[in-house]
Structure 1
Amino acid sequence: MMKISGRITWCCVALLLALTSVSAVQKELDSIDDLKQINFRQSVPKHSLLLLHWFANKIDIDNNDIIRLAFDLNSGDYGSHHYGNFEGLLDPLPRGNQHRYYTIGNLYREAPIQLPPYVVHPRRQYVGENRDRIIARVRDPNIEGRVHRRIDRVFITQHYDTNENLGTPYDPDHTYRITINLLRQIREFAVGQNQQQLMHLRNRFGSSADGFDIVNTWGELACLGLLLYIVFQEKPSSNQQNNRPENEINPWNGINSYIPRILPSFGDVVVNINDAEDHEAIRTTGNIIAVPRINVRRSFRYNPKD
């Protein structure tokens, strides 16, 4: 009887440990709105989003949602190395020798191929003290000659903060599985896109960011700057529309617009028309002003009725 009771107790403990381990990896980030829910300022280094942005744009994703990696993890490229998962942070590997976990993103590890400067030497507010990592589960990692290895799971994680005095393991409370949908969204913010593409992204994700200010601040990294602004500065809202039409741009945000607008009455309003056929200012007085398909400038003046 005592043996049976002991076995039941041991099974309960094992089940509890298994459920605890699984709960750590069931936290899933599926969209940029999910990223907004993370407390980057207090609990998670902002640098982890820089690392995730780089990774999302370094991998290949085909039409069947198969992720392939074009660099050699066994050679230590981009600060990578094998991860044994000894603390049970992630699910055990499937049986056989066809899968392996790797961590990517150690800034201090000597590597044949280094991470880009915006990840290694970020702006001051995005320094992460080398705590954040990407973890990838790779299929067939030991097959020689295979260049594009297949990845079937991606995680973002971080080492415990030194102030927590918990050593160097990864923090299960801040380990998240990254879905292919989120990777695809981040890939839209690839480095080197032009200003028109930047404005399209701003509208598609319902952002109020000042496009000109981001371009002036970030230069060729403007799309990355927009992503950081959306995640860190803008919280998700039930009224936010993530798929606004590309041409729906607010003219008062410093961007030209060719959309008819209805403006409230301010008394006398001067609208400047920048058109090849008519360069004269039109003065209109009334309750409503309908602006035709013209280039509306941000600067205007009005005379209040009172």
Structure 2
Amino acid sequence: MERKALLCIFFLLLPLALVSADIPVLNSINDLRNIEFGHRFPRHGLMLLHFISGGLYVDNNDALIPTFSPEMGDWGFHEFYNNEGVFPPLQDQNRQGYYAVGNINTPTAYPLYPYVTLSYYLTPGNLERNMDRLVVRTSPNSRRLEAVYITQHIRGSSEYDPYNTYQTSPALLREIRTLSQNRVDSVEVFLYAAGYNVDSRTFTWNCYATDSTYTVEDAGRMTLNESPAMMKGAVVNDHHTECYAVVLQVKSTESGYARLGWANVPDSLLDVGVMLALFNKDGNHLLSLSLDMRSYGTYDTNQYLNHGLQVKLLSKDGSNVIMSGPQYDDADRKIPVGIEGYDASLQLYTKDGNACARLFISKTFTDWKNDFYYSWVGFYSNHNDASYSYYTHEYAVSFTKQDDTNIKYDIYSYVSSLSIQPGAQARFFFTKTYNNILAKTKPWER
């Protein structure tokens, strides 16, 4: 009886084991053309693969060396437990891990670049706008990655689809990175080479028309088969708009306030009247601005720069959302920079318009307070300033520990008195002198 029970369990688990052990490998961009992953609007998988590939260096031995740290949560990576057994079991549970990225419906995804998230914000309600994921397996002995996979959720479900899961070879990742280097149009070139269905974007071009009641909100709730037919009525007078080209963004003023920017707003929208609106991370409406006939421009607000701010384009009376921009990332979409010689990193971010810093300290670096006893972080209003010209500073051991949400790193933070502004920078000094700099953040963007 016991043997029969064991055999029953074995045969129940066998299909799962076969799925995880036999993941197809993609060896070239041409191989991407023959799979479903991210190939039509509003799927974002190919854009996600392009973005992550830009942060991966593949050496002559096919080693995958990331410029980002999945364990630290860069770009929204989070630990993935492989409960469904889609991926091969880990050989070392303590030192290996699976990490997933691509869920745009979370504040940790704000650092992803707008071209990855644009289709999500254009199509609220669409069941395919947030399906795609990228999963990496970390190595037990180094910061290298052992494998990179592309996968997706089953449509309308949170479960992963084992039959649409693939491993990307080092050759494919190298090809994407090579194709993308030194090209302004690298995203479009890659999408074309990978067989992305550009025509599937067309239903969003009709996001607003003077004789139509349909908006992007409605189009997002349609199925992809329904949308072209449903939207035909919106273009009979040829007043369609190319919403995919509209730019909406939040940047920083010189004093830590939010600067709204917009561009490429079509005349057909300006003719009927539209307004720009700013919302916070909780969805509260903070301010509105009539665009009149200005297709592009900037506007300096009196709202402090904070995580999750979002610009939306509204109808003239404010009743309809025509489209939304990406939600603002408090770290300016910059991943932490490593502190040379230590398993620790530094990140500049903003809160209520102030320049702030985070220290990521590995949980295995237990003696960090002794090693960093004289270490300090300087805050600079301009990255070109000399080291002694800091605006303010704080010792590393005086940073405040944040909630313990990361299993690999402890996070410590400090809010300075410097207003965040274009060109601002944080520097990590190992000793009290000015010449032993172990880390510099990238300048805050304009």
Do the aligned partners of residues 158 and 170 (structure 1) sit closer, same or farther apart at CA in structure 2, a change above 3 Å counting? same
1:107-154 superposed Cα distances (whole Å, 9 cap, x missing partner): 23223970112112259999951221110001249xxxxxx8210111
Specify which of 179, 185, 188 is matched with residue 222 of structure 1.
Answer: 185
* Paired amino acid for 2:148: V
Structure having the higher helix fraction is 1
Specify which of 131, 149, 162 is matched with residue 155 of structure 1.
Answer: 149
* Paired amino acid for 1:232: G
Q: Distance in 1 between matches of 2:165 and 2:51?
A: 18
- Which of structures 1 and 2 has the bigger CA Rg? 1
Task: Give the conservation status (yes or no) of the 8 Å contact 1:29–1:176.
Answer: yes
Specify which of 91, 95, 116 is matched with residue 98 of structure 1.
Answer: 95
Q: Where does residue 50 of structure 1 map in the other structure? A: 47
Do the aligned partners of residues 161 and 94 (structure 1) sit closer, same or farther apart at CA in structure 2, a change above 3 Å counting? same
Q: Gaps (5+ residues) in structure 1?
A: 142-147, 194-220, 235-306
Matched, 1:139 2:139: yes
Specify which of 154, 166, 187 is matched with residue 177 of structure 2.
Answer: 187
* Paired amino acid for 2:66: L
Identify which range, 127-136 or 34-43, moves more after superposition: 34-43
Q: SS in structure 1 opposite 2:107?
A: coil
Q: Distance in 2 between matches of 1:113 and 1:5?
A: 51
Q: Where does residue 130 of structure 1 map in the other structure? A: 130
Q: Where does residue 57 of structure 2 map in the other structure? A: 60
Percent identical among aligned pairs is: 34
Q: Distance in 1 between matches of 2:120 and 2:41?
A: 16
1:29-77 superposed Cα distances (whole Å, 9 cap, x missing partner): 1111211111358899642111101111111222221112222323322
Normalising by the residue count of structure 1, what TM-score does the alignment of the two structures yield? 0.55
Q: Distance in 1 between matches of 2:25 and 2:52?
A: 17
Do the aligned partners of residues 177 and 9 (structure 1) sit closer, same or farther apart at CA in structure 2, a change above 3 Å counting? same
Q: SS in structure 1 opposite 2:105?
A: coil
Q: Distance in 2 between matches of 1:9 and 1:170?
A: 25
Do the aligned partners of residues 86 and 45 (structure 1) sit closer, same or farther apart at CA in structure 2, a change above 3 Å counting? farther
Task: Give the conservation status (yes or no) of the 8 Å contact 1:107–1:120.
Answer: yes
Do the aligned partners of residues 73 and 20 (structure 1) sit closer, same or farther apart at CA in structure 2, a change above 3 Å counting? closer
Q: SS in structure 2 opposite 1:111?
A: helix
Q: Cα RMSD between the aligned structures?
A: 3.2
Task: Give the conservation status (yes or no) of the 8 Å contact 2:68–2:74.
Answer: yes
* Paired amino acid for 2:191: L
Higher relative contact order (CA 8 A, sep 6+): 1
Q: Gaps (5+ residues) in structure 2?
A: 198-446
Matched, 1:177 2:167: yes
Task: Give the conservation status (yes or no) of the 8 Å contact 1:77–1:113.
Answer: no
**How much has 1:16 moved relative to structure 2?**
4.1
Do the aligned partners of residues 45 and 64 (structure 1) sit closer, same or farther apart at CA in structure 2, a change above 3 Å counting? farther
Aligned residues: 194
Q: List 4+ stretches of structure 1 deviating above 3 A.
A: 2-17, 39-46, 122-128
**How much has 1:99 moved relative to structure 2?**
0.6
1:71-126 superposed Cα distances (whole Å, 9 cap, x missing partner): 23233221210000011111110035221000022223223970112112259999
